[in-house]
């Protein structure tokens, strides 16, 4: 009798372990497969938004780099119809932090993605409700990663689907260029008494395939272009542009 009870206890323990294993298997499986494949009805919408994200992000990154990391610079030098963000004014450093630049990119994308999607007018057979876009940018040495939450409720016939998470990577060495500019500005700030300091330019520019173009001085101001010969956006060389007052 005791033997039968012992065998029954073992069978119960084994059954519990099997059930626990099956439950854990599906829990972990669900955790790994967080993103379900899009239904055929929403694939055209998903691809369309992804193309908009890719194109808009590239345009924004290029434009913001041309404006010294700002979407709308406050301290600007105007020359020949263009505005250049001031970094050094009276020896004071106005270069934006990398976190600030990331926010400028994100904010610009949040506003401009709607222009590209254009209320999804290219998809008259769909009923699409869109929420606010919320994005985050991360500047790395060799690329910029952009993640965007853009909630879309898509209805076609009786089918209703939801899309919300999108991501793109811009293959430019933005972090490398930014760090080179920052190094120059910090050294220039230390040597502000002597005016423009040519020796303050980073020594590893050539090694990193970067070069710097400097305009002739205009109204005590020099315009700098840190150009990355290894990065292009829309067939244009990626460059970081700013002005210093001396």
> Which percentage of the chain shows pLDDT scores above 70?
85
Q: Residue 234: which residues within 8 A CB-CB, separation 6 or more?
A: 58, 59, 62
Please identify which residue in the block is written with the tokens 């600030």. Answer: 100
Residue range of the domain that includes 55: 43-65+98-170
Distance in angstroms between the alpha carbons of the first and the last residue of the chain:
99
Residue with tokens 């970081």: 240
Residue 218 lies in a domain: no
- What are the phi and psi torsion angles at 109 (to 5°)? -65, -40
pLDDT of residue 30: 44
Structural domain contains residue 202: no
User: Alpha carbon of 10 to those of 2, 6, 13, 14, 20: distances in Å?
Assistant: 12, 6, 5, 6, 15
8-state DSSP, 196: S
Residue 241 lies in a domain: no
> Average pLDDT in the 1-6 region?
48
**171: which DSSP letter?**
-
Rg (CA), the chain: 27
Confidence band, pLDDT 50/70/90 cuts, at residue 234: confident
Q: How far is CA 246 from the centre of its chain?
A: 33
pLDDT value at residue 41 = 85
Mean pLDDT to the nearest integer, 158-171: 96
Least confident of 31-40, 71-80, 93-102, 148-157: 31-40
Say if 106 falls within a structural domain: yes
pLDDT value of position 39 = 80
Tell me how far apart the alpha carbons of residues 36 and 206 are, in angstroms, rounded to a whole number: 46
Q: What are phi and psi of 220, to 5 degrees?
A: 65, 25
Tell me, yes or no, whether 238 lies in a domain. no
The reported pTM is 0.83
Q: Which of 245, 144, 151 is nearest to 192 (CA)?
A: 245
Q: Does residue 212 fall inside a structural domain?
A: no
Residue at 164 is within a domain: yes
**Could you tell me the pLDDT band of residue 239, with boundaries at 50, 70 and 90?**
very high
Q: How many structural domains does the chain have?
A: 1
Q: Judging by DSSP bridges, how do beta strands 82-89 and 236-245 pair with one another?
A: parallel
Q: Which helix (H) or strand (E) holds 83?
A: strand 82-89
CA atoms within 13 A on the CB side of 53: 25
**Domain membership flag for residue 125:** yes
Q: What is the model's pLDDT at position 31?
A: 40
């Amino acid at each position: 009798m005791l033997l039968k009870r012992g065998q029954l206890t073992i069978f119960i323990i084994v059954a519990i372990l099997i059930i626990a294993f099956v439950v854990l298997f599906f829990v972990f499986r669900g955790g790994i497969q967080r993103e379900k494949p899009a239904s055929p009805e929403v694939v055209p919408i998903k691809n369309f938004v992804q193309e908009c994200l890719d194109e808009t992000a590239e345009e924004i990154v290029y434009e913001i780099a041309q404006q010294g990391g700002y979407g709308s610079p406050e301290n600007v030098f105007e020359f020949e119809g263009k505005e250049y963000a001031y970094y050094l004014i009276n020896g004071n450093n106005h270069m934006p932090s990398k976190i600030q630049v990331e926010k400028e990119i994100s904010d610009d994308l949040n506003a401009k993605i709607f222009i590209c999607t254009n209320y999804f007018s290219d998809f008259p057979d769909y009923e699409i409700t869109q929420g606010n876009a919320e994005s985050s940018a991360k500047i790395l040495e060799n690329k910029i990663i952009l993640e965007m939450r853009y909630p879309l409720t898509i209805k076609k016939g009786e089918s209703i689907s939801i899309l919300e998470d999108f991501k793109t990577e811009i293959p430019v060495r933005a972090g490398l260029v930014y760090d080179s500019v920052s190094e120059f500005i910090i050294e220039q700030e230390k040597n502000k008494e002597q005016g423009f300091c040519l020796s303050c330019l980073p020594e590893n520019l050539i090694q990193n395939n970067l070069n710097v173009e400097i305009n002739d001085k205009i109204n005590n101001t020099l315009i700098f272009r840190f150009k990355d010969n290894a990065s292009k956006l829309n067939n244009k060389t990626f460059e970081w542009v700013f002005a210093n007052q001396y």
